[in-house]
Structure 1
Amino acid sequence: MKKLGILVLFAFVMAVTPSVADAANIAVIDLQKALNLTDMGKDAKNKITEKAKEFEGKIEEQQNELKALQEDLEKQAVLLSDDARAAKEREYQQKLKDFQRYAKDRQEELQQLDGQFTNQIVEKLLDLAQELAKQEGADVLLERGSGGVVYAADSVDLTDKLIAAADAVKE
């Protein structure tokens, strides 16, 4: 009995689905592609890259200081008293911890900055995509990367038009 109910439900869904799909004008966008290829997406990526290079320079500087401190500690180890050597080792360990914390904080800062830029741009792209879908007469707009779209013909893909519209917007 349960199997019969499931079969009837399945048959009903299959019978209704084609008529709904035929009536709907569906369009698709690739948000990730738009994010990567729009001017605003490229600008954000460049800003993050510049910030990362800035952080890398500071991190490299601190690494060099740590390396010099470690080499100095190794050279002086035989000359220092046990207490002085222990103090130098504690100093080195503290600076190493500080360095690791600094590097981790900078990585988190970059991730947060990337997230902020991405969210702002995606919000703008979605607004533009909705307007574009209305202009194109689409009843439904799907995002290619969301996992729900297995295939979409190029004729229903509005991504290139979305990129052009986003690049035309002056901030």
Structure 2
Amino acid sequence: MIHQFWRAIAAFLVGVIIATAGANANGLEKPKGTVLLTVSGAISKTNAGETARFDLAMLEAIDSTVIETTTIWTDGIQHLRGVSLAALTKALGVNSGTLRAKAINDYVVEIPVTDAVEGGPIIAYELNGEQMPLRNKGPLWIVYPFDTDVAYKSEQIYTRSIWQLDRIEVVQ
């Protein structure tokens, strides 16, 4: 009887180890809240088939970066909080290619992964201390720190600042 008990415990522990290894092999937890961003394509970490799905808490856990900048779409200095593009691409194992960013209305822009640098663009989830509703560029907006580098004040960069972002496909 004692032998059967230890056998059952050992079988249970092996099952837990296998289940845990399978759940963590892809490196990402599953979202518990509303999914704001789905990333697909050439990524090495997933949590839903071949995609990575993120809720707000997951984005905040990767990185919380604040930029203060003016934009051509708003008045005055804006305070934006979000996950840096550099941190997100690193978390997904992306180091080359193009990010095909898509908005809820299917508007698409292409951003080279080389833009994902420290001190560069963020995927903002807060504007001036508040989450962004769909009617105000939300729920996510890719924003470059326009005031930190004159190179960010170009038509090419402005077109990459997609709002109402909900999908990114990484293409090589």
- CA radius of gyration, larger in: 1
TM-score when normalising by structure 1? 0.29
TM (norm. structure 2) is 0.28
Query: More relative contact order in 1 or in 2 (CA 8 Å, sep 6+)?
Result: 1
Q: Which has the higher helix share?
A: 1
Q: Structure 1 or 2: larger strand share?
A: 2
